[in-house]
Structure 1
């Protein structure tokens, strides 16, 4: 089970605390029981990949042995509790991997299982941009971001990242597989960028994964639940 926890920080003091925790939280995560893989991420100010940071939103992505463990640790972990106390709001998605290809920091972090479910899906794209390709990537990316933001099907989208400009992650949530597939197949900047990435070898490492949404906790932008869960088994 994968958890993606988002935290929004309002005051300057809280934002400085969150920025400092990008380094200070690493020892605790490295020693955390049952944690198989983790990443601390900042966020971008636009749709999907973005070169401009959002100093008010940070994320913890974590991989656990199972759903029960994930929910228990998110609820009881002192580290997650500290983040919740300081944050103005927080939201965690629980994600069951159903497909994955590629690597993240030289590892295969998600163990995909057969999917016979229905309901909302999440898509994650992660890439390390080659330095010599960075300018070309960021010249093209704003058009892709606007497409994602304008799509009427997408329920939620955010760009997060480990290293600004070079290591980027996008997460988007869709009501069903058909709506996700329509966007992926559509012609335009997104399809053109995929062709350019393949032809130009823009990324030194990349990962593409899909997840069935198993649940959520908290609220985002003042709403909870954010995702319609009634159709998920």
Structure 2
């Protein structure tokens, strides 16, 4: 068995459901802690636009989880009451199932992902998470709009979103790519992104950071009326 990571996204168009989802950022914690077989987990909000902004998008929320294996992940996501409650309230929901292939860094002082060997080719997902030092918030977020425009216009990125636990301070980026080459090409050769990475390193902007890659196992539900994985050849 190998660890499986899931990220579940929920869209709430109605104001009363958005209010419910916001309260669940705190109210769901007890229920999540009681879910059998659940390892690491985080409740997250999202950003507006391409998702990579400090302005919250009150319509979209996410839950990230780790499980001992894919079968357990699918069963718990489908049958556990807390996930059922989110799906009942949401106008649309999508869960992507992932197998970690590489990870470095920490999240809330933990190393949540247990990687297996890196695949040679095929679609992959990338996740970055950082706790931004308060004194450099302005510098960090001033660079984000240019990166957001570039990733939004990149024809290779199949899905992208910015999520986080605390607006402004805790930032998570999640994206899906057709292969490692396309993702590396964006990361290394995109001007604003490469410049931001260098600034982060030179200025030690992050108090804590984590970088992880995943093989894509499959999904359930839809996002924007379809599966973002449609047309991908998965292993």
TM-score (norm 2): 0.96
**1:231 matched to which residue of 2?**
233
Are 1:48 and 1:148, in contact at CA under 8 Å, matched by a contact in 2?
no
Deviation at 1:12, TM superposition (A): 0.7
1:149 aligns to 2:123 (yes or no)? no
Q: Which residue of 2 aligns with 1:219?
A: 222
Task: Verify: 1:166 aligned to 2:169, yes or no.
Answer: yes
Alignment of 1:1-233 (within 5 A): 1-116=4-119, 118-223=121-226, 225-228=227-230, 231-233=233-235
Name which of structure 1's ranges 127-136 and 46-55 shifts more when overlaid on structure 2.
46-55
**Secondary structure, in 3 states, of the residue corresponding to 2:71?**
helix
Q: Alignment RMSD, CA only?
A: 1.1
C-alpha deviations, 1:70-102, integer Å up to 9, x for none? 011001111100000000000000011001110
Cα distance in 1, alignment partners of residues 153 and 204 from structure 2: 28
Per the TM alignment, residue 232 of structure 1 is displaced from its structure 2 partner at its CA by 1.5
Q: How far apart in 1 are the matches of 2:93 and 2:200?
A: 34
Give 5+ residue unaligned stretches, structure 2.
none
Give the deviation of 1:46 after TM superposition: 2.5
Q: Tell me, in whole angstroms, the C-alpha distance in 2 between the residues paired with 1:70 and 1:26.
A: 18
Q: Distance in 2 between matches of 1:58 and 1:152?
A: 25
The separation in 2 between residues aligned to 1:187 and 1:49, in whole angstroms, is 16
CA 1:24–1:14 in 2, change beyond 3 Å: closer, same or farther? same
Distance 1:230 1:135, change over 3 A: closer
**Cα distance between partner residues in 2 of 1:70 and 1:117:** 25
Using the alignment, how far apart are the partners of 1:42 and 1:190 within structure 2?
23
Give the superposition deviation at 1:187: 4.1
> Normalising by structure 1, what TM-score?
0.97
Mapped to 2, the partners of 1:173 and 1:24 lie a distance apart of 30
